[in-house]
Structure 1
Amino acid sequence: MQLRTVQVQSCAKRNFASVALRPLMCALLFFASGQVLAQSATQNVLVIYVDDLGYGDTGAYGHNVVQTPNIDRLAAEGMRFTQFYAPSALCSPSRAGLLTGRTPYRTGVESWIPDDSPVSLGDNETTFADLAKQRGYRTAVIGKWHLNGGLHMQDAPQPRDFGFDYQYGLAAWVKNATVRESPDVPRRGAMFPDNMYRNNEAVGPTQKYSAELVSDEAIAWIEGASDPFFLLLTYSEVHTPIASPRQYLEQYQHHLTQEAKDNPLMYYFDWRDRPWRGRGEYYANVSYMDAQLGRVIEHLRNKGVLDDTLIVFSSDNGPVTDAPLTPWEIGMAGETAGLRGKKRFLFEGGLRVPGIIRYPARVKAGRVESRPASALDVFPTLAKWMNVAIDPAIPLDGESLWPLIDGHDFKRQQAFYWSIPTPDGMEYALRDGDWKLIVDTQGAPQYLFNLGNDWYELNNLLETKPEVAQRLLHLYQVQRTAVESDPLALARQAQKH
């Protein structure tokens, strides 16, 4: 099949890359000149990415308290992965990986991005929204962005510069200045966000909690035109501050302590040095988020287009558990289903997350898939879906899941690779087959696990399996070298100098 280069529309309008960078940036996309997949022209795409939801936080993944009927139904009507991985154990890098199919250190995002930071997703990166836009989809990101220092920053790359026609949501997490700046101590008040933006213009004060605002906007945008749509729906729940309507708190009142019942609207940073509030607020926030994403799914069902929509659901990293390490983590109660670690760590609890794909034409309802996959695979999977070939000169770390989805043999060609600054100094991890190696910041191996019989990472085999450790260490070194010599990253560095 002959391939022809197509000028990428989003490249032409990006003001942040030099003329020298644009050819490299635009060279990523090629369109096949024939055999366009029928679904790419008519079917919708909905990628749902939620915040800090743990592997064990839903009914579909075994939680015996939290009610998540909509996520559970999504799993029952689609395929549920038992070994699905986030690109990182932190929010911003994980989102960078999801959008590009490239391990986050390639993209310019290594850790979470503070307010007003100059760090952003590399301006010469291509996202799956770029692919969709070139195939005629309406594109939107509705919800959390967190791939720059703020949606207000005029000199930073914004969603419109990565293929998104429409944007609504917040930069990082929910804020409310009235509550935060109250002179009363402890501070109190409903955390209705006042930091929402629509197409990078401030929305101002609101009167609903975040997830409902996001679902309202998503439904309105879906109704806005009849064209096929590509929607990245990114709820900020269940990240702190966890704030939910009263009806969800009442649902879990038996999991609230008297402290929480007596102080229902206390500002979450004022929870320090006060009695424990119980797990009910966390449980309520998961159910609230589930109900809101369920509204969007039911809207598609009622419109008669749900079965014509490819849906991918996952979380950006593992949960914040009830063992807080920082003040903002107090009151959380995320579940890893017993996996070791949590958000910010490279053990399974920080990386393994829920993963669901629903598309009845290709996915048998109720299927449970045990082969490992990653959110990095979403980009190449959608590229295949939209019949867009990827220039092999631009490294991808994900692989198309269509052979796996269609029930064919699927042998992953690359090892899984993660890198992130962690509190315990374990900066790198690599998984090849059942074997997982964790390496410290200096490049020295510290842990070796066989996940085939040790999901919970209890038996460190570093000393007893030296030949396996050496093989994985070599794979890690090769991958790290490749990431550090990434052509897009080097091009950005050259531009700065």
Structure 2
Amino acid sequence: MNPSRLICSMAALVSAAAAQAQTSKPNVIVIMTDDVGYGDFSCYGATRMSTPHIDQLAARGTRFTDAHASASTSTPSRYAFLTGEYPFRRLGTDVAAGNAGMIIKPEQFTLADLFKRAGYATAAIGKWHLGLGSKTAQQDWNGQLDQTPADLGFDYSCIMAATADRVPCVFIENDHVKNYDPSAPIQVSYRQNFEGEPTGKSNPELLQLQPSHGHDMSIVNGISRIGYMKGGGKALWKDEDIADSIASYAINWIEERVNMAKNAPHCRKGECDHTRRSEANLPFFMYLCTNDIHVPRWPHARFAGKSPMGSRGDAILQLDWTVGQITAALQRMGIADNTLIILTSDNGPVLDDGYADRAEELAGSHRPAGHWRGGKYSAFEAGSAVPFIVSWPAGKVPQGKTSRALVSQIDAMRSLAAVVGEQLADSLGIDSRDHHRTWLGLSSKPRNYVVSMAYNRSVSIRTPQWKYIVPTKGPAMVPWGPHIETGFTSTAQLYNMRGKQGETTNMAEKHPKIVKQLDEQLKKELESPQR
């Protein structure tokens, strides 16, 4: 761990003010789902399936209809959420390989650092996809990783290095592979296969789920992945158990904290250490990232075949179950009323994202992007328009409210800082703005504009009324397989987002002054040098 972070952590633990924080500050859980579209939940209009636990979360809070991620792909979106800095400002924030070095640098201030400063215990659970270790492709998967979420302000982490379709297919607990099996040392490469190891391309007969495009390298659990891996043994995850594992890791950590808090006051002098007693009284922040509904979609038997939309629909049901497990645990432990929950997605939806799971064929009338155009990877709205629910049952957030305010995930840093009573220097979270009253449903004030980065790093801008996409070279459709419009054209695009027009009629020629105004605003955002 970075020494300065260790000193800050120790100071937070022994602080008298922090010891009393539980009584005045809420616990905060961010549930970051994966590749979930605006229209994938029944509270957002889905009719071919029901998501009762997520719907209940919305009923106990405020649901936003115009919320945006900062990118239409995972790694840059998560980078922006945790740092308050747009991903286009830093090189190397594209979709990360499973053996990428850590993309957020230890010296950067993060959302977890904010909560540590405010006297919170912090945890990261589930999908990470922001790199691990100080150097790409040089991680010691069989020993100790030298850079982890601990260097970014997280006290505890139990994470997937990248995504379920990328190796290594193991969970990492803090700085070691969880359940490490010394009889099966782990080797990982994104350059070449290991001698004698089967692949999806060469050995399709070994697969229980066939790839549709790419995803034909190393085989783990009968599913071929991106990248090459050898070993793992007992540490390898089982795809059908990933959701159960993530939920249990999260609940176990919370339960441990609650039990510590219950037992700490009864410790006799000398029987339990001061740090543990202090830590027990801290509120907590959890960054909880589900694997669902990212590919490969291989849900548990409890959900397999339960949706008319195949495994993608089953994965949505599994995601809803995960949310239900978390909220039920909070109720059981008696801390639900003092826990602020934010549920959202890292980017928009995709149906065929590399596996032959019939997601496109079985979607039927279901529109995963809702009324938005495009999808994951895209410059169109569905690339970044995501579900966004804020729930805090203790009377702090209006119940059952629908907000049409334009909001952005980039504002997590400063909005949550305001919620927990922290002030940040201008040099921290440089793109984040305080919109906590809007996030909490207490105001309808929208953001003046949001910006979002497509898969080719082009950036578009959106105001409450207008969407401007800069002239961009590139194919009209995502070229490697997904049937998704990119939004790339050689001419400027301007769309009126009010009324029924949406992104259907390009009005750039009709409103040149608006095009110029938005183009200038976007250039101001892009002027800051990349780091």
What's the TM-score, normalizing by structure 1? 0.77
Q: Residue 350 of structure 1 corresponds to which residue in structure 2?
A: 383
Q: Residue 161 of structure 2 corresponds to which residue in structure 1?
A: 171
Alignment of structure 1 residues 73-472 onto 2, 5 Å:
73-118=56-101, 120-148=103-131, 157-174=147-164, 183=203, 185-188=205-208, 191=221, 204-206=235-237, 209-226=241-258, 227=280, 228-252=283-307, 255=308, 279-321=309-351, 324=352, 327-328=354-355, 331-333=358-360, 335-360=368-393, 361-394=395-428, 396-404=430-438, 405=440, 407-408=442-443, 410=445, 412=447, 415-422=449-456, 427-441=458-472, 446-454=492-500, 456-472=502-518
Alignment of structure 1 residues 468-483 onto 2, 5 Å:
468-482=514-528
How far residue 210 of structure 1 moved from its aligned partner, in angstroms, is 0.8
Q: Residue 5 of structure 1 corresponds to which residue in structure 2?
A: none
C-alpha distance in 2, partners of 1:156/1:72?
A: 41
Q: Residue 261 of structure 1 corresponds to which residue in structure 2?
A: none
Report the number of matched residues: 425
Distance 1:441 1:250, change over 3 A: closer
- Secondary structure of the corresponding residue to residue 253 of structure 2: helix
How far residue 378 of structure 1 moved from its aligned partner, in angstroms, is 1.5
Question: What is the letter of the counterpart of residue 12 of structure 1?
Answer: S
C-alpha distance in 1, partners of 2:132/2:91?
A: 13
How far residue 38 of structure 1 moved from its aligned partner, in angstroms, is 7.0
Post-superposition CA distance 1:29-48 (Å, at most 9, x none): xxxxx9x9977854211110
Q: Residue 3 of structure 1 corresponds to which residue in structure 2?
A: none
How far residue 451 of structure 1 moved from its aligned partner, in angstroms, is 0.9
C-alpha distance in 2, partners of 1:40/1:73?
A: 26
What's the TM-score, normalizing by structure 2? 0.72
C-alpha distance in 1, partners of 2:140/2:502?
A: 42
2:93–2:103 contact (8 Å) kept in structure 1: no
C-alpha distance in 2, partners of 1:312/1:61?
A: 16
How far residue 246 of structure 1 moved from its aligned partner, in angstroms, is 2.2
C-alpha distance in 1, partners of 2:422/2:222?
A: 41
C-alpha distance in 1, partners of 2:517/2:311?
A: 45
C-alpha distance in 2, partners of 1:136/1:10?
A: 18
Using the TM superposition, name which of 48-57 and 152-161 deviates more: 152-161
Using the TM superposition, name which of 451-460 and 78-87 deviates more: 451-460
1:40–1:386 contact (8 Å) kept in structure 2: no
C-alpha distance in 1, partners of 2:374/2:459?
A: 14
- Secondary structure of the corresponding residue to residue 251 of structure 1: coil
Distance 1:152 1:134, change over 3 A: farther
2:132–2:148 contact (8 Å) kept in structure 1: no
1:57–1:335 contact (8 Å) kept in structure 2: yes
Distance 1:98 1:156, change over 3 A: farther
How far residue 438 of structure 1 moved from its aligned partner, in angstroms, is 0.6
C-alpha distance in 1, partners of 2:241/2:223?
A: 7
C-alpha distance in 2, partners of 1:108/1:58?
A: 34
Gaps (5+ residues) in structure 1?
Answer: 1-8, 15-24, 26-33, 196-200, 256-278, 490-497
Question: What is the letter of the counterpart of residue 75 of structure 2?
Answer: S
2:304–2:314 contact (8 Å) kept in structure 1: yes
C-alpha distance in 2, partners of 1:455/1:214?
A: 41
Distance 1:357 1:44, change over 3 A: same
C-alpha distance in 2, partners of 1:239/1:437?
A: 29
Overall identity of the aligned pairs, in %: 28
Question: What is the letter of the counterpart of residue 171 of structure 1?
Answer: A
How far residue 119 of structure 1 moved from its aligned partner, in angstroms, is 6.2
Post-superposition CA distance 1:245-286 (Å, at most 9, x none): 22312322xx3xxxxxxxxxxxxxxxxxxxxxxx31110011
Q: Residue 65 of structure 1 corresponds to which residue in structure 2?
A: 48
Distance 1:143 1:56, change over 3 A: same
Distance 1:67 1:395, change over 3 A: closer
Gaps (5+ residues) in structure 2?
Answer: 9-16, 134-138, 171-196, 210-219, 226-231, 259-279, 361-366, 474-488
C-alpha distance in 2, partners of 1:40/1:102?
A: 31
How far residue 439 of structure 1 moved from its aligned partner, in angstroms, is 1.2
Distance 1:454 1:184, change over 3 A: closer
How far residue 337 of structure 1 moved from its aligned partner, in angstroms, is 0.8
What is the RMSD of the two structures over their aligned residues, measured on CA atoms?
A: 3.5
How far residue 320 of structure 1 moved from its aligned partner, in angstroms, is 0.4
Question: What is the letter of the counterpart of residue 335 of structure 1?
Answer: P
2:407–2:446 contact (8 Å) kept in structure 1: no
How far residue 155 of structure 1 moved from its aligned partner, in angstroms, is 7.0
Distance 1:206 1:395, change over 3 A: closer
Question: What is the letter of the counterpart of residue 169 of structure 1?
Answer: I
Using the TM superposition, name which of 183-192 and 117-126 deviates more: 183-192
Distance 1:110 1:454, change over 3 A: farther
1:174–1:191 contact (8 Å) kept in structure 2: no
C-alpha distance in 1, partners of 2:54/2:132?
A: 31
Post-superposition CA distance 1:128-158 (Å, at most 9, x none): 1111112222111000010015785767642
Distance 1:235 1:415, change over 3 A: same
C-alpha distance in 2, partners of 1:311/1:192?
A: 36
Q: Residue 262 of structure 2 corresponds to which residue in structure 1?
A: none
- Secondary structure of the corresponding residue to residue 516 of structure 2: helix
Post-superposition CA distance 1:189-221 (Å, at most 9, x none): 8959999xxxxx997034552111000111110
Post-superposition CA distance 1:385-432 (Å, at most 9, x none): 2222111134532322222235246353x531222333xxx8110113
1:339–1:348 contact (8 Å) kept in structure 2: yes
Distance 1:156 1:420, change over 3 A: farther
Post-superposition CA distance 1:367-389 (Å, at most 9, x none): 00001111112211111122221
